Structure 1
Amino acid sequence: MSREVRALLHILVGAAVLHISLFSELYLRYVRRGLRPYLIASGALLVVVGLVGAAAAARELLRPVRDGHDVHGGHDAHEAHGGHDAQDGHDAHDAHHGHGHGTPRTAWLLLLPVLAIYLLQPQALGAYTAQHSDSTTVRPAAATGGFAPLPATGPVPMRLADFDARAVWDTGGSLKGRQVVLTGFATPGPGAGGWYLTRLTITCCAADALTSKVEIGGGDAPPKGAWVEVTGHWQPDGRTGQDSAVPVLTADRVRRITEPGDPYE
């Protein structure tokens, strides 16, 4: 790959990274919020490397023009004494690099990921991923470090993963009689009209996403993938006490909302 193409790719990839991290929050579809400074630094570094490479390539292209003019003896003197050697050197340069500065056509395929960011803007993981994922964030209390007391007043906004952990593992029953507010998207559940409120949790990026879900009772099922806010009460006689259990929430209110700027927990 020629130096010019490498410089162009560095600049375009760096600009794409800056586009999603510095000038917008599209990066939240791919990684967690705490990684933003690293993305900005990486994008800026790629742009700088590309600009340095472009400047070096420009000097390389202009060098034969400057060398062809003898500031002491004129252009004719250069041709008389060095023209043949220059031609031989140019031929050797072309032979070494494979017909000059030609670039394999396949190298331009590296632009496809950049174009995808600008033109397609892939969406965050959602209902399809959750339905086909076997991984969950429900963990024993020992793994979560125990459960802190809930606020005395309600309803209590909670992360869906935290609600799952309390419903399954909190032997103190901190959820009993408490009204909670959960946010997520709808996925199909068991039986006709059944549905889950679902959310994806990431540790680093979308590639390690884990699924949290709660079976909702007492509310009409929203369209698959629709984002909703559910206010309700934990159903103690739901399926609890096992790692594979899915807690049940009796809905008092289901409200449609727009997708959050940060779709992951």
Structure 2
Amino acid sequence: MRRYGPAVLLLLTGAAILRVALFTELYLRYVQAGLRPYLVGSGFLLVLLGVAAAAVGRREREPHGEHDGHHGPRIAWLLALPALALLLFPPPALGSYSAAREAEQRAAQGIGSFPALPAGDPQALTLAEFSSRAVYDSGRSLTGRTVRLTGFVTRDDDGTWYVTRLLVSCCAADATTSKVEIREADAPPADAWVTVTGIWHPKGRLGTDGAWPPVLDAASVRRVAQPANPYERR
């Protein structure tokens, strides 16, 4: 059976990729939507390579009663366990632990005016857009507007809590954190997904660390399901 080890690894890995990228939307936990065709192509290629490796292994013949030394030790089969785990138990999206470890990094943008928000409240904004307007907008376009933000809950040791979202350019490996401090409402459990409706609470001087993270005075907090794509795009 050891001759089929590489084939099994290729088949399991290819099947795992196809499962998350072709038959579900789990791939959005790890990469941007535009990379889906490449994942699907990679999955099919790995499956084809696995089939080819199995066909080659079937044609090989070992001497009776001994091995020819070209096959690895039995412990090499342990390499199949990560591929099997990926197939059966895809890892979850990044959450509060990753956000807590991420340094507060913000885009290097100067203070300036932003376009006016569309008419009508509440206005649904991404956390990145809300944060940019709160920290850098000299026109104070958020003043008096009711906004709606969606993200997962993170907390500080002092009880301060935030609606948080991870921003990615390509995949989960380059994720950075965007968060908004929530006041006037009790904190749901960490990692719970919520939609918060409220009004911007100005603080600090524009463009300085004193304005970060921005603050929202909450009028309502509603628990929601994690979206299919848990990340915002930078």
Bin of the TM-score, shorter chain as denominator length: 0.7 to 0.9
Q: CA deviation digits over 1:75-97, x for unaligned, max 9?
A: xxxxxxxxxxxxxxx69xx78x4
Aligned match of 2:221: 254
The root-mean-square deviation of aligned C-alpha atoms, in Å, is 2.6
> Distance in 2 between the 1:10 and 1:146 partners?
53
8 Å contact from structure 1 (residues 238, 247) kept in 2:
no
Q: What amino acid is the match of 2:22? A: L
Aligned match of 1:237: 203
Give the deviation of 1:238 after TM superposition. 5.2
Q: Compared with structure 1, are the counterparts of its residues 240 and 54 closer, same or farther at alpha carbon in structure 2 (3 Å cutoff)?
A: same
> Distance in 1 between the 2:206 and 2:157 partners?
16
Aligned match of 1:180: 147
Give the deviation of 1:121 after TM superposition. 2.4
Aligned match of 1:7: 7
Count residues in correspondence: 230
8 Å contact from structure 2 (residues 169, 175) kept in 1:
yes
The reply on whether 1:167 has 2:167 as its aligned counterpart is no
Which of 193, 199, 204 does residue 227 from structure 1 map onto? 193
> Distance in 2 between the 1:146 and 1:176 partners?
13
Aligned match of 2:82: 113
Aligned match of 1:195: 161
Aligned match of 2:114: 147
Q: Which has the higher helix share?
A: 1
Q: Secondary structure at the match of 1:241?
A: coil
Give the deviation of 1:105 after TM superposition. 2.4
Give the deviation of 1:9 after TM superposition. 1.5
Q: CA deviation digits over 1:57-108, x for unaligned, max 9?
A: 22334xx9xxxxxxxxxxxxxxxxxxxxxxxxx69xx78x42xx64312321
Q: Compared with structure 1, are the counterparts of its residues 23 and 130 closer, same or farther at alpha carbon in structure 2 (3 Å cutoff)?
A: same
8 Å contact from structure 2 (residues 17, 43) kept in 1:
yes
The reply on whether 1:129 has 2:98 as its aligned counterpart is yes
Q: Which runs of 5+ in 2 are unaligned?
A: none
Q: CA deviation digits over 1:199-236, x for unaligned, max 9?
A: 11111111111011111111111111111100111112
> Distance in 2 between the 1:149 and 1:141 partners?
18
> Distance in 1 between the 2:219 and 2:226 partners?
21
Give the deviation of 1:256 after TM superposition. 0.8
8 Å contact from structure 1 (residues 7, 53) kept in 2:
yes
Larger Rg: 1
Aligned match of 1:208: 174
8 Å contact from structure 1 (residues 239, 246) kept in 2:
no
8 Å contact from structure 2 (residues 127, 179) kept in 1:
yes
The reply on whether 1:38 has 2:38 as its aligned counterpart is yes
Q: Which runs of 5+ in 1 are unaligned?
A: 65-89
Aligned match of 1:86: none
> Distance in 1 between the 2:9 and 2:87 partners?
14
Q: CA deviation digits over 1:121-164, x for unaligned, max 9?
A: 2211101111222143x324459x97333212221111101111
| Percent of matched pairs sharing the same residue | 53
User: TM-score, normalised to structure 1's length?
Assistant: 0.78
User: TM-score, normalised to structure 2's length?
Assistant: 0.87
8 Å contact from structure 2 (residues 110, 136) kept in 1:
no
Q: Compared with structure 1, are the counterparts of its residues 11 and 141 closer, same or farther at alpha carbon in structure 2 (3 Å cutoff)?
A: same
> Distance in 2 between the 1:187 and 1:239 partners?
25
Q: Secondary structure at the match of 1:166?
A: helix
Q: Compared with structure 1, are the counterparts of its residues 34 and 46 closer, same or farther at alpha carbon in structure 2 (3 Å cutoff)?
A: same
Aligned match of 1:59: 59
Q: Secondary structure at the match of 2:40?
A: helix
> Distance in 2 between the 1:107 and 1:147 partners?
58
